[in-house]
Amino acid sequence: MKPRVPPGRTGHLWLRHRLEIARRGLDLLDRKLRILRREQERLDREAARTGEEWRAACADAEAWLLRTALLGGQRVLRLAEGSPDAELDAEVLVRRRDAMGARFPDQVTCRFPEPPEPVGGTAALAPTRRAHRDALLAAARHAAALEAARVVTAEVTATRRRIRSLRRNWIPLLETELAALATALDETERGENARLRRAARTDHDQPD
């Protein structure tokens, strides 16, 4: 869409100011994109690392669960769950941070309820519980890492789109409008100067 440029010298100054703002904005967006791309690479590595930790923690938890079931049977696992009224929900706490306008999960911690009082069981029950807590924490951290990578990737895409719009559309349009207006003003000035010279010659040729 073409800008609504004021007429005359005012429009010339208006276009120069808008062009300066657009070029300064392009520089800032280029800087933002460089920072975001570094953050994107870091978060992609973090997502890959937490994914490996989550898969390893799941395998460890499954192994301990099987070991406990083999040693104590299903009865031990049911007793470890406690009463139906027991508060067994874990709480996942997520702290977020900002990077160049993108807000995403940064640190994750978990709060776990107190385990029910053991009634019988096996020595494998405690490490089984710890392994499952570790697996839950690893899952939460991996989910946060994936979300952080998604948010920053979306911001990278949006920033690239704004840069492309400025570089390919808005700045060339302002430059074209500025050049056209400068040419028009120059022609107007030359025409006015020619008119003044003709008027001066006419006045000079008039008899006293």
Please provide the average confidence, as pLDDT, over all residues in the chain. 84
Token pair for residue 141? Answer: 């951290």
- Round to whole Å and give the CA distance between 47 and 41: 10
- Domains of the chain (ranges; CATH) run 22-179 (1.10.287.3240)
pLDDT one-digit tens code per residue, 106-138? 999 998 887 666 555 677 788 888 899 999 999
Q: Which residue has the higher pLDDT, 7 or 26?
A: 26
- Round to whole Å and give the CA distance between 175 and 15: 8
Question: Which residue bears the tokens 């997502």?
Answer: 47
pLDDT one-digit tens code per residue, 49-89? 999 999 999 999 999 888 888 877 776 666 566 545 445 57
Instruction: Confirm if 115 and 55 have CB atoms less than 8 A apart.
Output: no
| Amino acid letter, residue 9 | R
- Give the lowest-confidence range in 31-45, 77-91, 146-160, 168-182: 77-91
Token pair for residue 101? Answer: 């306008």
